[in-house]
Amino acid sequence: MSTSDKNLSSFLDIASDSDFSIHNLPYGIFSDTADGKRRAGVAIGEHVLDLAVLEAEGLLKLEGGSYFDQPTLNAFIDSGRDNWTSARSTIQTLLSADTDTLRDNQDLQSKALFKQADVTMHLPVHVPGYTDFYSSKEHATNVGTLFRDPANALLPNWTEMPVGYNGRASTVFVTGATDIIRPSGQLKPNPDERPIFAPCKRLDFELETAFIVGQPNKIGEPISIKNAWDHIFGMVLFNDWSARDIQKWEYVPLGPFNAKTFASEISPWIVTLDALEPFKTSIPNQDPKPLAYLQETKSDNSFDINLSVELLPENAESATVISETNFKYMYWSMAQQLTHHTITGCKVEVGDMMGSGTISGPTPDSYGSMLEIAWNATKPVELKGGSTRTFIEDGDTVIMKGYSEKDGIRVGFGEVRGKVLPALNFDFDA
Amino acid sequence: MSTSDKNLSSFLDIASDSDFSIHNLPYGIFSDTADGKRRAGVAIGEHVLDLAVLEAEGLLKLEGGSYFDQPTLNAFIDSGRDNWTSARSTIQTLLSADTDTLRDNQDLQSKALFKQADVTMHLPVHVPGYTDFYSSKEHATNVGTLFRDPANALLPNWTEMPVGYNGRASTVFVTGATDIIRPSGQLKPNPDERPIFAPCKRLDFELETAFIVGQPNKIGEPISIKNAWDHIFGMVLFNDWSARDIQKWEYVPLGPFNAKTFASEISPWIVTLDALEPFKTSIPNQDPKPLAYLQETKSDNSFDINLSVELLPENAESATVISETNFKYMYWSMAQQLTHHTITGCKVEVGDMMGSGTISGPTPDSYGSMLEIAWNATKPVELKGGSTRTFIEDGDTVIMKGYSEKDGIRVGFGEVRGKVLPALNFDFDA
């Protein structure tokens, strides 16, 4: 399969450390300044390849119609795996150094290739539903220790099911679309007094990935684990911004609500599972062995994806890496998550976004949230230039990156970058 | 205002106990057998008035375009309150006994009026987001008593905020669209043993209403309580089917998930707040007084809506009323719910459905779920014919009804009716 042929190269000049090699070809929705029209593109090196142009020129023909001159990728994704395979193969061939069609046609290149720096990225899919899982054992243990009881940090259901909750799809946005306004809500700083209404003082990020559902089911018809992988289209980076003080006060008994619905930020490029194929690995050993409906039918059920978080204070000269971790630490697989999600008959839809949950590794420098890194504000993080952080401050920018690399092939996610603005002023007498 | 003019009558023959008087005029989406095309209608007596026909005939002109020859009401609702007012007024006039336009035009009547018995109802809105609140103090107290600790049944945050959680919009369907398949999932019948995978044994209904968001906000811009009522279009009945045994095992710490995402069933007709105007009343006294952002700016912030639940076993001759309650018992108002939902900046969208939470009154015969009515299976409910129930059994049909009545004016919701089918057979070796 050409995907893993490391000798494959593009006629375009692509840096060896580029996230967007010819092996990647992630899908996004972009517009340029000419008319602002949203359509589908693929990232390649520093460029975006306009798929709507390829389609209009007859160079990208798929079953069932045309899909790329549209403001979301949902129709393309919905059209099914044969089209995913066919599109990837065609685009890879067109970008290859061995194919003259685009390589030798300057006119076509000028129509179809844009500099990423010159375009605006948009939400790649319409997101009908957003769910967030909680599938890192290290993260769940850390949070249980800090929020509840160190002696019983991991709740008894955690090793039996990929615990998750429904999030707020309306709040999922693509990085760059908006800054993060520090949320205000109910806090309870003094356990013996009533709560107050105030700006969140414990603003946090959560380093996650999310997968995008590629094929739906019907209500009442669970997706078996055997078929679950076929329902997944690809992955993005995901920053699940969280207000820890609001969360702590509100989350019992029905789960997080206000604390999680103000900003859920994704990277613009959907990296397909096909592109991640060379980086397959296994989830950790699951003990106890899951119930039958959750038993994976294959062993290569995770991916080796390097992930990092950088913090860039306002006016700082450079960002500080505050976490380096890996997707492979996740205890529950994406297939297990999807099967569990639908087991009682819940319908999932094309474009649904399924957050992994915070991805924490085994050591403090691999934790995926400030809550854990600064251990509930008891171990401030030192940044370049000498300032410290226990949570995220106004003016801070949080940057998440992710990539896989093996045998000379690199496939990356780009980044999620969010800047925090001060809280709104509320005037209740106005 | 004509809404509350009890002398207003229709040229159509409408029974005095009809839910769909000329004072009501709820909106829905229907199709008939002729072409199956979905379009908007209004319920009137035993009929549906086809709004697409009125629009095509030039009898219903609204600002900004045409809205009713569409498969959802979202565009109409999104078009704003002036159009809501104008449409209601025009439709009421056209149906009035004093207006000859439709009354004396048999040809128009044959095109525009359908028997409700002859049409199929569909989901009235596309539902971008679904949230379920937990705003009945009686229900929260009962559940806290049964699931947690009778001595501390109501958690400390409950009187400070309208506690809620994000539900699964993809699972909201209109009554009649599908039966309810008994869900299978993780149960933990024995606290000392591992969970099992099995059909839910404690299948329950939750008697709720839901309001439909009529105007959106922008991400990062909370809706103040002063403005919240203007963002609400109308209400439906809502059965939030629940699997109590699955819920009990899964819900700590992130809230209900599998237990609530298999069936969320609404009545087909959206009753507008304008139609409910004559039935305004006040929420109960709130002690402590809510924080400033949640303080209602008006006292008539609830509605007097009679609600009931009937249970009809398979082959039974008639249904048994097992609960009679009222929306006015709800502790938190819909405006408080909406303001709280958006306070950290969460975006709401037109068509969003906001469940009230189970509506329980002060006495056992007014509880809104079987969990409470049969008090966790300790007080079986006797049905007509002598059979009993602790939870819902296969073949049972649950019917919810609601109406307001005052000074000779009746405005009703119709019903939600769901029948339970046996669980699927799972074969994990297949």
Beta bridge mates, A272: A234
- Facing residue for B344 by CB, picked from A258, A341, A428: A258
Partners of B144 on chain A (C-beta within 8 Å) are 253
Task: Please give the residue that has the higher pLDDT: either B133 or A2.
Answer: B133
Q: Do A258 and B343 touch (CB under 8 A)?
A: yes
What single DSSP character describes residue B428?
T
Partners of A261 on chain B (C-beta within 8 Å) are 166, 341, 344-346
Partners of B295 on chain A (C-beta within 8 Å) are 428
Q: Do B252 and A253 touch (CB under 8 A)?
A: yes
Tell me the C-alpha distance between B419 and B398, whole Å. 6
Residue-wise pLDDT tens digits, A316-338: 999 999 999 999 999 999 999 99
Least confident of A237-241, A283-287, B356-360, B424-428: B424-428
Sheet holding A397-406, edge to edge: A180-181, A409-421, A397-406, A306-312, A320-326
Kindly state which CATH superfamily the domain A130-421 is placed in.
Fumarylacetoacetase-like, C-terminal domain (3.90.850.10)
Do domains A27-122 and A130-421 share one topology? The answer is no
* Dihedral of the alpha carbons of A43, A48, A52, A58, in degrees to the nearest 10: -90
What pLDDT is recorded for position A2? 44
- At A428, give phi and psi (nearest 5°): -80, -5
Least confident of A281-290, A368-377, B149-158, B345-354: B149-158
**How deeply is B362 buried, as exposed, middle or buried, from its count of CB atoms within 10 A (0-12, 13-18, 19+)?**
exposed
Asked if residue B35 lies in contact with residue B45, where contact means CB atoms within 8 angstroms, the answer is no
Partners of A262 on chain B (C-beta within 8 Å) are 219-220, 344-346
Asked if residue A50 lies in contact with residue A17, where contact means CB atoms within 8 angstroms, the answer is no
- pLDDT (average), residues B399-405: 98
Residue-wise pLDDT tens digits, A208-229: 999 999 999 999 999 999 999 9
- CB contacts < 8 A, A to B, total 205
Closest CA to B209 of B172, B236, B181: B236
Confidence of residue B26 (pLDDT cuts 50, 70, 90): very high
Tell me the C-alpha distance between A130 and A210, whole Å. 9
Judged against a pLDDT cut of 90, whether residue B393 lies above it is answered with yes
Q: Do A263 and B185 touch (CB under 8 A)?
A: no
- pLDDT (average), residues B398-415: 97
Q: Do A186 and B160 touch (CB under 8 A)?
A: yes
Tell me the C-alpha distance between B396 and B411, whole Å. 28
Q: Is B322 helix (H, G, I), strand (E, B) or coil?
A: strand
What pLDDT is recorded for position B6? 76
- Known catalytic residues of B are 139
Q: Do A257 and B163 touch (CB under 8 A)?
A: yes
- pLDDT (average), residues B254-274: 98
Burial B390-415 (b: 16+ CB within 10 A, else e): bbbebebbbbbbbbbbeeebbbbbbb
Beta bridge mates, B306: B326, B403
Q: Do B346 and A249 touch (CB under 8 A)?
A: no
- Facing residue for B346 by CB, picked from A165, A171, A249: A171
What pLDDT is recorded for position A7? 84
- Known catalytic residues of A are 139
Tell me the C-alpha distance between A391 and A348, whole Å. 35
Partners of A170 on chain B (C-beta within 8 Å) are 128-129, 219, 346-349, 352
Tell me the C-alpha distance between B340 and B331, whole Å. 14
Chain A: give the shortest CA distance to residue B430, in Å.
Answer: 10
- In sequence order, the 6+-apart residues with CB closer than 8 A to the CB of A287 are A159
Half-sphere exposure of A10 (CA within 13 A, CB side): 25
- Facing residue for B252 by CB, picked from A155, A181, A424: A155
Asked if residue A180 lies in contact with residue A419, where contact means CB atoms within 8 angstroms, the answer is yes
Beta bridge mates, B406: B409
ω into A199 cis (within 30 of 0)? no
B252, closest residue in chain A (CA to CA): A253
Q: Do A155 and B251 touch (CB under 8 A)?
A: no
- pLDDT (average), residues B9-29: 97
Q: Which residue has the tokens 């991805």?
A: A359
Asked if residue B344 lies in contact with residue A246, where contact means CB atoms within 8 angstroms, the answer is yes
DSSP A222-256: PPPHHHHGGGEEEEEEEEE-EEHHHHHHH-TTT--
- Say if the ipTM goes beyond 0.85: yes
A126, closest residue in chain B (CA to CA): B128
Confidence of residue B148 (pLDDT cuts 50, 70, 90): confident
What pLDDT is recorded for position A1? 39
Residues of chain A with pLDDT under 70: 1-4, 429-430
Q: Do B129 and A256 touch (CB under 8 A)?
A: no
Tell me the C-alpha distance between A230 and A348, whole Å. 13
What pLDDT is recorded for position B2? 44
Beta bridge mates, B174: B266
- Domain map (residue ranges) of chain B: 27-122, 130-421
What pLDDT is recorded for position B428? 72
Amino acid occupying residue A202: R
Judged against a pLDDT cut of 50, whether residue B245 lies above it is answered with yes
Give the architecture (CATH level 2) of B27-122: Roll (2.30)
